[in-house]
Amino acid sequence: MRCFVVLSHTGPLSPEFPLADLPGSAGRLDILCRCATEAFLLSHGIRRDVRLYLVIRGKLLIRLDGASLRYLNPDERSTAALLRKAIARAQGVDPGEWAPSTPGIAVRWGALAHVRAELEAEGFGVYVLEEGGEFIRGVPFPERAAFVLSDHRDFAPEDLAALDGLPRVSLGPRALQAQTCIALVHNELDLREAGWTSVSCR
């Protein structure tokens, strides 16, 4: 099982934003939408063995589970509508409690540290996608691997504190958009699972 954790430093904490202005009044929600598309969608099908956490401003967590996910289409606008429903669902929910939104999507108030704790409790190996890390093609991963990445901004000091001690992995020589990173991780793991390549091929 694969997991991605995307940190949004500017995303919305309340659902009062128009779907026609995702980069502006929705605080670059377009990035999170593209991340959901790359995390779950194949050309014709959905990756059921994937989980995606969106961590908005270190306060609001949205969890998408491929096993039960419904209504996810590839375009940004419809994905933003799904996320807006989740954000609306969160209003008034007690901190620390996962609230179900649409099928396969849940929401709670909480921080990156909660996500890390949840993943480690489930036996995931957690990796940070960061320039300067070890080149992915040489890194062996456990069957349950989670990858933490940032949006258009660098990791903030409080992010780095919550990610302390975790291994860093790099995807290449260029600084890439968040959804591109997800695409590259999926491909590397797809290739290994299918025996097209192996670790430490470099």
Please, which residue, 116 or 147, has the CB nearer to a second copy? 147
CB of 97 to a second copy, least distance (A): 32
Q: End-to-end distance of the chain based on CA atoms, in angstroms?
A: 25
Per-residue x/- mask for a second copy, residues 147 to 166, rule CB under 8 A?
-----x--------------
Distance of alpha carbon 81 from alpha carbon 93, whole angstroms: 20
**Applying CB under 8 A, does 44 fall inside the site for a second copy?**
yes
Q: Which of 41, 46, 113, 139 binds a second copy (CB under 8 A)?
A: 41
Beta strand 60-65 with 50-56: parallel, antiparallel or unpaired? Answer: antiparallel
**Applying CB under 8 A, does 108 fall inside the site for a second copy?**
no
- Give whole-number Cα distances, 163 to 40, 70, 184, 198, in Å: 24, 31, 21, 27
CB of 109 to a second copy, least distance (A): 27
- Give whole-number Cα distances, 11 to 17, 23, 132, 151, 189, in Å: 11, 9, 26, 10, 29
**Applying CB under 8 A, does 172 fall inside the site for a second copy?**
yes
Of 41-49, 82-90, 139-147, 155-163, which part binds a second copy (CB under 8 A)? 41-49
Chain center to CA of 77:
18
- Residue with structure tokens 């375009």? 75
Q: Which of 49, 75, 134, 143 binds a second copy (CB under 8 A)?
A: 75
- Contacting residues for 77 by C-beta, under 8 A, at least 6 apart: 19, 22, 33
Residues contributing to the site for a second copy (CB under 8 A): 19-20, 22-23, 30-31, 34, 37-38, 41-45, 73-78, 135, 137, 152, 171-177, 180, 183-184, 187, 190-191, 193-194, 196-197, 201-202
